[in-house]
Amino acid sequence: MAAGRAGINPPTARANRARKALHRARIGLRRSAVDYFRGGGSDWLPLVALLSTVPALAVGTLLVPVWFAPEALVLPIIAGGLLLRPASLLLLYAGSATAMIVESATLGPYESGAGRVTPGTVLVVAIAGLSGLIVAQFRSRVGVPWRRGGTMLFDLRERLRVQSKLPKLPAGWHREMALRPAGGQSFSGDFVVAARTGRRNRTLEVVLTDVSGKGMDAASRALLLSGAFGGLLGSLPPHAFLPAANAYLLRQDWQEGFATSVHLVLDLDSGDYELFSAGHVPALQLHAGSGKWEEQAAQGPLLGVYGGAHFDPIKGRLRAGDVLMLFTDGLVEAPERELDDGLDRLMGEADRYVASSFHGAAWHLIETVARDVNDDRALLLLCRD
């Protein structure tokens, strides 16, 4: 009666309840699968699957020793090192050892021919078990299963690349960004964050940062700082960005917690800009009228060294045909080369791209000027057509 008064007949109500129960079951199954692939669920399923292969391999060794060698027992152990927790892996290892004892007792420990169990066989299986246990303990400590470890690193690399992309600029402006990590690695301690800010998004703010260290050693800190700097950029007045970034680094209390950074604030209508620096190498500006390069060196201490630091900007203007280059020290500094020599070489190579308006020049400049330098290198070009 209540269901009839509510306008819902009993069969419809039962169907709705059944659909809700099915939906809850699907959600629970999906969550269990997600937890498993994240390493948070039970590993009983791969344990049962791997344990079932142990007697199968043992039987194969006893019946067809030409095709199934006793050393084949290392295969489930290796897979277990990638899939199982340490306790489950010990259980798998115990099953493999039992299978080897059965093989030895049946075929004889020093039986000649195929399928014999020798001390070398025992040693190989033992080493495989120890290696698998070390891998399993490492995965358990890190909390990242092998199924997602590579995916996570790939995701981190792509996030760094996305955060380093420059926004589109209006007509009359050209920008390029190139970054090459040390040693050909996929991760770098150099990164860029940029955003269009101000009224009608007519201001371009770019921050190029060089974190202490290089390559993989600096990648985790670069990722953390790029996210933090991206959140600060545009949320604070330009003169307050570097002090806030400096305070953030000091709060991290890293052993190698310093970084250099340059902050460009460019008016896309007039071409006027302000350049803030935190211990960074100077920028270079090409004046189209004279064809000469000029160093633009703002003053400021390293980020993460001491609190209350002040960063005084320098001002300039990009006129038609002018070019502004921002880069990290890996491009112009090397153990056998002074900074001034590196700047001169960079300016000399950059002159070759004046005729092409620097289109496609960023990557080629890194390749030409600092191809073999074992340091992270980043170069940003801003051209006013």
Q: What is the CATH number of the domain that holds 269?
A: 3.60.40.10
Q: Is residue 185 part of a domain?
A: yes
Is 148 among the domain residues?
A: no
Give the SS3 label for residue 240: helix
pLDDT at 126 > cutoff 70:
yes
Residue 108's closest CA among 121, 97, 117? 117
What are the beta bridge partners of residue 296?
283
- Identify the DSSP state of 299: B
Alpha helices in the chain (DSSP H): 2-5, 10-37, 44-63, 74-83, 86-107, 119-142, 146-163, 216-232, 238-252, 339-350, 361-369
**Checking DSSP bridges between strand 292-296 and strand 283-287, what pairing results, if any?**
antiparallel
Residue 3 has pLDDT above 60, yes or no: no
Residue indicated by tokens 């004279």: 290
| Residue 340 and residue 272 share a domain | yes
For the sheet with 292-296, list strands across it: 173-180, 377-384, 323-327, 283-287, 292-296
Q: How confident is the model over 225-257, as pLDDT tens digits?
A: 988 999 999 899 999 999 999 999 999 888 777
Judgement on whether residues 197 and 308 belong to the same structural domain of the protein: yes
Quickly state the pLDDT bin for 121 (edges 50, 70, 90): confident
Which residue is associated with the tokens 């890190």? 142
Domains held by the chain: number: 3
Residue whose structure tokens are 């066989």: 121
Look at residues 143, 164, 180 and tell me which one is the last residue of a structural domain: 143
Average pLDDT, stretch 151-165? 72
Q: 177 with 279, same domain?
A: yes
Query: Per the domain annotation, does 255 fall within a domain?
Result: yes
Residues 312 and 335 sit within 8 Å (Cβ to Cβ) = no
Q: Domain of 236?
A: 153-384
Do 304 and 334 belong to one domain?
A: yes
What would the two tokens of residue 312 be?
């005084």
- Predicted pLDDT at 283: 96
Choose the weakest-confidence range: 107-121, 122-136, 259-273, 367-381. 107-121
**Of the given ranges (148-157, 180-189, 375-384), which has the lowest mean pLDDT?**
148-157
pLDDT at 1: 39
Two tokens at 27? 């959600």
Q: How many CB atoms lie within 10 A of CB 142?
A: 10
Query: For position 21, what pLDDT does the model report?
Result: 60
Could you tell me if residue 249 is inside a domain? yes
Whole-number pLDDT of residue 145:
59
207 with 241, same domain: the answer is yes
Q: What is the mean pLDDT of the segment spanning 92-113?
A: 76
Helices 44-63 and 86-107 sit at what angle, rounded to 10 degrees?
10
Average pLDDT of the chain is 83
pLDDT number for residue 172? 92
**Verdict on whether the full-model pTM lies above 0.85:** no
Q: Examine the pLDDT at 7 and tell me if it is beyond 50.
A: no
**pLDDT reported for residue 12:** 61
Q: Name the amino acid, one letter, at 82.
A: L
> Is the domain of 309 the same as that of 343?
yes
Q: Are residues 55 and 173 in the same domain?
A: no
Residue closest to 367 by CA, chosen among 340, 349, 343 = 349
Same domain, 320 and 196: yes
**Overall average pLDDT of the 336-353 stretch:** 90
Distance (Å, whole) CA 71 – CA 56: 13
Same domain? For 157 and 72 the reply is no
Domain-located, residue 285: yes
Residues 119, 166: one domain? Answer: no
Residues 9 and 77 in one domain: no
Residue 350 falls inside a structural domain:
yes
pLDDT score, position 14: 63
> How far is C-alpha 383 from the chain's CA centre?
30
Task: Verify that 74 and 177 share a domain, yes or no.
Answer: no
Mean pLDDT of the region 295-317: 94
pLDDT in tens, 349-361: 999 999 888 988 9
Residue 138 has a pLDDT of 75
Specify if 306 maps to a domain. yes
* Confidence bin at 278 (pLDDT 50/70/90): very high
- Residue 238 domain flag: yes
Per-residue pLDDT, averaged over 120-144, amounts to 79
